[in-house]
Amino acid sequence: MEVVVCKSYEELSRKAALSVAEIVRVKPDAVLGMAAGSSPLGLYRELIRMHREESLDFARVTTFNLDEYVGLPPSHDQSYHYFMNESFFQHVNIPEANIHIPSGTADDYESFCRHYEELIAESGGIDVQILGIGADGHMAFNEPTSSLASRTRLKTLAKQTIEDNSRFFEKIEDVPVHAVTMGVGTILEARKLVLVADGQKKADAMAAAIEGPVTSMVTTSAIQLHANVEVYLDEAAAAKLKMRDYYDWVQANKPGVD
């Protein structure tokens, strides 16, 4: 795992975006795993800038999003379909047919989730999965106690997640109680993981995920089991890391660094 602590949110977003962009440049038909939420927004803005100013081409890219609220149609302004379109997809040249986001209005969720897994496999698997982290250490909607071998499925949200996300809705009662989410096992099959986190509220969760035990109580801790992980944090999100000096030492002494 490579832990990169940055001076600002803008810096971490830029560095994370460069990592994703490198994969797209080397493999133009790359499969990207996308995450909704506030933390990846800066990464998406930087990818959009590179598309507009540096000819970063997404014409052959395929995407799979991590999750979606159950009960929200794509047109709902708090759905992740809407979020991703507003924040990224409408600004780049990914063909609409190549964009995959879990359905929040499926008739048969068991069949849909099985089909979503099949689509990922048929695409050749995810080359890089972008991740954020919840305040309690969950990734996607894999709440505490989720199996570390879990697959795409219907999940009941924890009360803390509902409370945390209520700021985006008129009232807490409007927050959906269920979501469709990629499982931890699905996420770990991506060839590379890029996790971004910022702010003091994420400090405890990041310390637990990076330096704590691998446990279903902190599902993001499963990234410790992956062979190719990059974590980009700002100073506030890195505040509780015990090995902070080592991470900085590694970055200062990487091959090719003067």
Domain boundaries of the chain, sorted by first residue = 2-241
Q: Which fold has domain 2-241?
A: Rossmann fold (3.40.50)
Model pLDDT for residues 151-184, shown as the tens digit of each residue = 999 999 999 899 988 988 989 999 999 999 999 9
pLDDT at 254: 86
pLDDT of residue 258 exceeding 70: no
Residue among 64, 63, 35 at smallest CA distance from 133: 35
Model pLDDT for residues 41-99, shown as the tens digit of each residue = 999 999 999 999 999 999 999 999 999 999 999 999 999 999 999 999 999 999 999 99
The catalytic residue positions are: 67, 136, 138, 143
pLDDT at 257: 52
Q: What is the mean pLDDT of the chain?
A: 96
